[in-house]
Amino acid sequence: GVSDVDVSTTVAGRYYVQVTAGDQEPIPGSPFEVIAYPGPASQQTSVTTVFGAQLASADSDVLVAVAGEEVSLSVAPRDMYGNVTVFSKGALVSATATSSGTVTPFEERTGTKQEVTLFTSFRVAGSYLLSAMIGNQVLDGYPRILTVVSAATEPRKCMLFGEALQGVKCNRISTLT
Q: What is the full DSSP assignment across 64-113?
A: EEETTSEEEEEEE-B-TTS-B----TT--EEEEEEETTEEEE-EEEEE-S
Indicate whether this model's pTM tops 0.85: no
pLDDT, residue 111, reads: 67
Q: Give the residues across from 95 on adjacent strands.
A: 132
Q: What are the mean pLDDT values of the chain's consecutive 10-residue runs (177 residues total)?
A: 87 94 86 94 95 91 93 95 91 93 90 87 94 94 94 74 78 78
Buried b (16+ CB within 10 A) or exposed e, 135-153: eeeebeeebbebebeeeee
pLDDT, residue 170, reads: 83
